[in-house]
């Protein structure tokens, strides 16, 4: 069977073997406790929700396929509504966002009597005030802080898929699967391969439809789709152009707060990308530091990971997900994707850079004293809470930001050989 990488316990695959495999009892109980905590429901109410969603058997056991079905916003919302329990829609969306991740955010519990698994704080999963996170099976608090990122899978080095793409190493994990660096054996050039292992059948069909619509899109700031492969286990893999560089997240971790001139330059480049995408009806829906790559040698800024993107959404469309701290309220509520969602996220990314990755400062819309007022005013426009007060056309923002750079910093271009990314002294 042709697969990408080792199938870890948390991997989701729509094939029947994975769908029918029973979820271990401790993970089922952890899921029940997770739902109860986030929705603030009793155990009885939580069980009633699961029964409406999966049937009576959910009281005893359910399968990995059931996890797939629970991670569906509409289905889970209907199950909650059927119970008559009054739960804010934001909390329901938060649960759905977590369910699809629950199986892979695990680390053996330190409690020798337990030996089971806690759940990490990642992508909105419950955070505790204590070091690390409590085990959701026995409530043990780890004595040491645990890294919130899931363990990387073993690389599928030298494995060949689609007859011509050799997997070299694991790069990152996103909303719909894992991304790998690979080599196109025909032209001997690097490519990216995204294994879309977390999609159910309906979302796979949507992905194929969106891939068709994006097939001819070409812009220096986005990866180009080269090929879509259906693997023998039924999952999809998308082959895209490889974009070298560092993510903004990695740059900020290394350098700290970024200089306002560099932030303005990054904003200008991203506005150019959004202008192209929005003209072609694409809403990215997941602008964040992890999805923005900067190549300091070529002065290139790129936007990657279109796992939550929508192509020509309608009033009947709904948000496919979001990232805490960077998504506006209308996106959290699951409303149809619109350009202003990307604009809002762009402003939050700017705050992240100016504040050196301090998420509390990002949430509080804090501007350091050294930020020029004209740049602060621009960002405040981007993060307006009311949609109608927020700019919606990236091309106009692009022109304004270029003018801002010239008037505020005295230039539109960096000197040859100058690093475009400067940190605050």
Q: What is the pLDDT of residue 100?
A: 54
- 348's CB contacts (< 8 A; 6+ apart) are 287, 325, 326, 362, 383
Strand (E) or helix (H) holding 173 = strand 165-173
Q: Which superfamily, per CATH, for 246-409?
A: Transferase(Phosphotransferase) domain 1 (1.10.510.10)
Per-residue model confidence (pLDDT) at position 7: 32
Q: Where are the domains of the chain?
A: 24-99, 160-241, 246-409
Per-residue model confidence as pLDDT tens for the chain (425 residues): 333 333 333 333 334 444 566 766 666 776 777 788 778 888 888 888 888 888 887 777 777 677 777 777 777 888 888 888 887 776 777 777 666 555 444 445 555 554 444 443 333 233 333 333 455 445 555 554 433 333 344 444 468 888 889 988 888 777 677 888 999 999 999 999 988 877 777 778 877 877 887 888 999 999 999 999 988 778 888 999 999 999 999 999 999 999 999 999 999 999 999 999 999 999 999 999 999 999 998 999 999 988 788 889 999 888 878 888 999 999 988 899 999 999 999 999 999 999 999 999 999 999 999 999 999 999 999 999 999 999 988 888 999 999 999 999 999 888 888 999 999 98
**Distances from the Cα of 184 to the Cαs of 35, 225, 229, 235, in angstroms?**
44, 13, 14, 20
Dig out the tokens for 208 from the structure: 């194929």
Residue 106 near residue 117 (C-beta atoms within 8 A): yes
Note whether 4 and 195 are within 8 A (CB): yes
**pLDDT the model gives residue 277:** 95
Question: Can you give the pLDDT at residue 105?
Answer: 43
Rounding to the nearest 10 degrees, give the CA dihedral for residues 108, 114, 117, 119: -120
pLDDT tens digits for range 174-190: 767 788 899 999 999 99
Q: Look at residue 15 in the predicted model and tell me its pLDDT.
A: 44
| Residues recorded for the chain | 425
Q: Tell me the C-alpha distance between 377 and 267, whole Å.
A: 14
226: region left, alpha or beta (phi > 0 left; psi from -120 to 50 alpha):
alpha
What is the crossing angle of helices 339-354 and 394-409, to 10°? 30
Q: At the top level of CATH, which class does the domain 160-241 belong to?
A: alpha beta
pLDDT for position 178: 84
Q: Do residues 109 and 135 lie in contact, with contact meaning Cβ atoms separated by under 8 Å?
A: yes
Residue 144: predicted pLDDT: 45
What's the pLDDT at 154?
43
- Token representation of residue 75: 């289905």
CA atoms within 13 A on the CB side of 422: 12
Instruction: Write down the pLDDT at residue 95.
Output: 76
């Amino acid at each position: 069977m042709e697969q990408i990488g080792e199938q870890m316990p948390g991997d989701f695959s729509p094939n029947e073997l994975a769908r029918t495999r029973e979820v271990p009892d401790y993970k089922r109980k952890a899921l029940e406790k997770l739902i109860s905590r986030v929705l603030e429901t009793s155990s009885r109410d939580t069980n009633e929700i699961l029964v409406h969603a999966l049937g009576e058997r959910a009281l005893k056991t359910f399968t990995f396929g059931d996890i797939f079905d629970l991670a569906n916003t509409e289905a889970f919302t209907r199950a909650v509504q059927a119970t008559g329990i009054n739960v804010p829609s934001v909390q329901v969306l938060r649960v759905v966002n977590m369910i699809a991740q629950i199986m892979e955010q695990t680390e053996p519990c330190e409690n020798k009597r337990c030996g089971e698994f806690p759940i990490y704080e990642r992508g909105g999963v419950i955070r505790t005030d204590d070091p690390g996170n409590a085990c959701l099976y026995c409530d043990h608090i780890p004595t040491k802080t645990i890294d919130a990122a899931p363990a990387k899978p073993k690389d599928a080095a030298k494995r060949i898929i689609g007859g011509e793409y050799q997997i070299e190493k694991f790069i990152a994990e996103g909303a719909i699967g894992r991304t790998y660096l690979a080599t196109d054996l025909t032209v001997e050039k690097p490519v990216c391969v995204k294994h879309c292992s977390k999609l159910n059948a309906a979302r796979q069909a949507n992905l194929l439809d969106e891939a068709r619509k994006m097939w001819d899109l070409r812009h220096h700031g986005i990866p180009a789709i080269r090929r879509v492969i259906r693997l023998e286990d039924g999952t999809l893999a998308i082959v895209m152009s490889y974009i070298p560089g560092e993510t903004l997240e990695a740059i900020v971790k290394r350098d700290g707060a970024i200089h306002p001139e560099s932030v303005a330059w990054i904003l200008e480049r991203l506005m150019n990308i959004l202008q192209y995408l929005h003209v072609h009806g694409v809403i990215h829906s997941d602008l964040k530091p992890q999805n923005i790559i900067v190549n300091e040698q070529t002065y290139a800024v790129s936007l990657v990971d279109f796992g939550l993107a929508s192509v020509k959404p309608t009033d009947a469309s709904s948000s496919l997900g979001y990232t805490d701290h960077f998504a506006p309220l209308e996106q959290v509520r699951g409303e149809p994707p619109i350009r202003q969602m990307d604009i809002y996220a762009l402003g939050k990314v700017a705050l992240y850079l100016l504040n050196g990755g301090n998420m509390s400062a990002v949430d509080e819309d804090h501007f350091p004293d050294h930020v020029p007022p004209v740049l602060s005013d621009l960002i405040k426009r981007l993060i307006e809470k009311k949609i109608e007060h927020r700019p919606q056309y990236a091309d106009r923002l692009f022109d304004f930001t270029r003018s801002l750079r010239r008037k505020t910093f005295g230039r539109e271009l960096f000197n040859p050989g100058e690093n475009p990314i400067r940190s605050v002294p």
